Amino acid sequence: MSQRLLTKSRFKQALECPNKLFYTKKKEYANRKLEDPLLEALAQGGFQVEELARLHYPEGILIENNDWNYDLLAQQTDELLQQENVVIFEAAFKFENLFIRTDILVKRGNNIQLIEVKAKSFDPEDENLLVGKKGGLVSGWKPYLFDVAFQKYVIQKCQPGWMIKSYLMLADKSKEATIEGLNQLFRINKTAGNRTGITRKVNSLEEIGGSVLGKINIDVILDEIETGKHLCYENLGLEQSINLFSKHYATDKFFNATVSYSNCKSCEFRATKEELAEGKKSGFRECWAGQLGWSENEFNQPVIWDIWNLHYLRGPKLFENDKFFFRDLNENDLGVKPEAGKISSSERQWIQVEKTRSDEPGPHILKEELKQEMKSWKFPLNFIDFETSATALPFNKGRRPYEQVAFQFSHHTVDEAGNIKHESEYINFEPGKFPNFEFVRELKKALSKNSGSIFRYAPHENTILNAIYHQLEESTESDKKELQEFIKHITQSKKKATEKWSGDRNMIDLFQVVKDYYYSLHMGGSNSIKAVLPAVLNSSVQLQTKYSKSIGGIGVTSKNFDQDHVWLQVENNKVVNPYKMLPPLFADWNEEQIEETVSGLTGIADGGAALTAYGRLQYTDMPEEERLEIKQSLLKYCELDTLAMVMIWEYFKEVVE
């Protein structure tokens, strides 16, 4: 059996919860993080940033291949370190049962720069970026800082005579891309012959006119971690934590760290009922059965972290008092406080608990209040949804890391007679084109055809238009004032904005309407549109009857679906979520055609997949038929988002009448 080494990724995992060390990398255990499209997109963005960082050191030597042969990797590193001056990418260091690889190591004699590259962004003017005003580490940065501290610890054990300076290299939000298509010079490629799947199409910083990355020295913080000012795990310092974690991992011994509300709520080693039926193991179940003696009966009971928006202080307090289940709770536990005219957050939580305990499927609706709200809405109603992207490496010249790119919208209308029309849509799928200003022009054109109420779902659309407002301010667009006035007309300013406004036609947030007036047991603890849509469909025989027919048969227009497409199917007396009915990509292509695709995509049914798809559409060498297939899939996904809003409105109209 090969030696079990504590790597930096496993060290970071142990900081979240040491029990994860037992389950990680074991294929028999379910792992939610392995199939999360958003996490995958973020990981690929990280690999792109890493490739750009390497351009800062053109003399750098990459140690590649043999990824699991730790001894060989460490030996190759040692051979390179015989040089007086050398830069190494992926340098490997092994000490006892510890193993790390560094992103960039710069050796000048005994003076060393340890550089950790991350796709996170930073503002160089932020004085409290890493350390808060009270002297503690900013929580969002803790994992990265302890990661570098662990690397430095292992290197120092291997090379006690070295003088090590440590840095984070990050996306600098004050820097602009100096060329078009920076992002596409670091290509995600499913056939790339390296572990990151990135193909680099440029060889020097000079070719791209500079970088959008910047370095931060973190020596002071690492000294404070090493001396115990900032504790690592529980009340242990860095070295004690490392020794404890490595000992358990080396012997494959379960750590048995005490279960906790925050750690267990976010545990990725939970298995769904389907996965359990397929033979997958649940680390979460094993952990809780071992510590609390839970049986199958307890695991089938609803637990407190399933409650919507349970406060981060209230949840742990209930947990500490052994109130794990819905059945244990009373109104005082949730601090229920009614609010006049709407369902308060605490009331909503209690409604969820009560309905779940009684298995009462009927929805809870404040009908009169909802009716009054709906009376203020002006026909024709307009429902809009945006698809957007924000990447560390910008797609366009003059743009900064993580600037918002709005590449698509869908727009449905409903008139007073109830006629539903897929009114308009916009998508930019041309590589190298910054779409935001054209996006707003097209949105303005679409929404200016009537003066009816405009609906969004959640704050995203408002946030994006606020961001474009400020991009216009910095632009030289001839119609920028006109576009800014339009944005102000249909939005409200952000809370902390210096310039305040609330437009005469400010978008109505359907998400807030749901929260204020409606709850269904079918939603569980979620108010997302993907939870609310199947909830209203399951509650309405009228909608089930209507949408079980073809689009052509019910007179709902569509720009992307055939007239014989049916939105609704019922299986085992339950409506199948329409998002699961979206067709896969390349459904009509043969195996040979699919093999020649360059995008590596299989389908688009959520926001993570949509932003990944947009990134792929920036590929200049993508065959036109593949580009059109992805475009069509994006259009279908976005159309369903606005049709889903229409269906929710139809349901509300039905119940108030």
Q: Within a 10 A sphere around the Cβ of 552, how many other Cβ atoms?
A: 14
Asked if the model's pLDDT at residue 149 lies above 90, the reply is: yes
Asked if the model's pLDDT at residue 652 lies above 60, the reply is: yes
Asked if the model's pLDDT at residue 99 lies above 80, the reply is: yes
Q: Which of 115-124, 241-250, 616-625 is predicted least confidently?
A: 616-625
Rounded-to-integer distance, Cα 483 and Cα 491, Å: 12
Q: What single-letter DSSP state applies at residue 232?
A: S
Asked if the model's pLDDT at residue 98 lies above 80, the reply is: yes
33 or 268: which leads in pLDDT = 268
How far lies 144's CA from each of 118, 130, 167, 432, in Å?
8, 10, 11, 33
- pLDDT at residue 360 in the model: 79
Contact (Cβ atoms closer than 8 angstroms) between residue 106 and residue 113: yes
List pLDDT tens digits, range 213-234: 999 999 999 999 999 999 999 8
* Polymer length in residues for the chain: 657
Q: What single-letter DSSP state applies at residue 185?
A: G
Q: Which of 95-109, 201-215, 595-609 is predicted least confidently?
A: 595-609
Rounded-to-integer distance, Cα 261 and Cα 315, Å: 7
| CA dihedral (15, 16, 19, 25) positive or negative | negative
Asked if the model's pLDDT at residue 1 lies above 60, the reply is: no
List pLDDT tens digits, range 277-313: 999 999 999 999 999 999 999 999 999 999 999 887 8
Please tell me whether residue 153 adopts helix, strand or coil conformation.
helix
Contact (Cβ atoms closer than 8 angstroms) between residue 600 and residue 190: yes
Please tell me whether residue 314 adopts helix, strand or coil conformation.
helix
Rounded-to-integer distance, Cα 21 and Cα 252, Å: 8
Q: Which residues of 351-374 are buried (b: 16+ CB within 10 A; e: fewer)?
A: bbbebbeeeeeebbbbeebbbebb
Residues 6+ apart with CB under 8 A from 379: 414, 415, 416, 452, 453
411 or 193: which leads in pLDDT = 411
CA angle 51, 55, 56 (to 5 degrees): 120
Asked if the model's pLDDT at residue 2 lies above 80, the reply is: no
Rounded-to-integer distance, Cα 435 and Cα 427, Å: 9
Q: What single-letter DSSP state applies at residue 561?
A: S
- This prediction has a pTM of 0.92
- Write the DSSP string, 449-460: T----EEESSTH
Asked if the model's pLDDT at residue 403 lies above 60, the reply is: yes
E-assigned strand segments in 255-340: none
Amino acid sitting at position 627? R
List pLDDT tens digits, range 536-547: 999 999 999 999
Peptide bond before residue 380 is cis, with ω within 30 degrees of 0 = yes
CA angle 118, 124, 130 (to 5 degrees): 60
H helices present in 17-138, as ranges: 20-23, 37-55, 70-80
- pLDDT at residue 26 in the model: 93
Q: Within a 10 A sphere around the Cβ of 122, how many other Cβ atoms?
A: 19
List pLDDT tens digits, range 75-92: 999 999 999 999 999 999
Mean pLDDT value across residues 486-503:
94
Q: In this structure, what are the phi and psi dihedrals at residue 188, rounded to the nearest 5 degrees?
A: -75, 125
List pLDDT tens digits, range 582-628: 888 888 888 888 787 877 788 888 887 888 889 888 887 888 999 99
Mean pLDDT value across residues 366-374:
97
Band (474; pLDDT cuts 50, 70, 90): very high
Q: Which residues of 213-236 are buried (b: 16+ CB within 10 A; e: fewer)?
A: bbeeebeebbebbbeeebebbeee
CA angle 63, 64, 66 (to 5 degrees): 115
Averaged pLDDT of the chain: 92
Band (359; pLDDT cuts 50, 70, 90): confident
Best CA proximity match to 514, nearest among 368, 366, 398, 357: 366
Asked if the model's pLDDT at residue 194 lies above 60, the reply is: no
In order of their start, the domains of the chain are: 47-246 (no CATH), 371-510 (3.30.420), 523-656 (no CATH)
Q: What is the CA radius of gyration of the chain?
A: 27
- pLDDT at residue 313 in the model: 81
Q: How far is CA 148 from the centre of its chain?
A: 24
E-assigned strand segments in 76-140: 85-95, 98-108, 111-122
> C-alpha dihedral over 611, 214, 229, 257, to 10 degrees?
30
Strands 213-217 and 405-414: unpaired
Band (196; pLDDT cuts 50, 70, 90): low
Band (377; pLDDT cuts 50, 70, 90): very high
Q: Which of 40-54, 338-352, 422-436 is predicted least confidently?
A: 40-54
Q: How far is CA 302 from the centre of its chain?
A: 26
Rounded-to-integer distance, Cα 475 and Cα 462, Å: 20
Mean pLDDT value across residues 521-545:
94
Rounded-to-integer distance, Cα 10 and Cα 20, Å: 9
- pLDDT at residue 603 in the model: 83
**Which run of H or of E encompasses 263?**
helix 261-265
- pLDDT at residue 190 in the model: 57
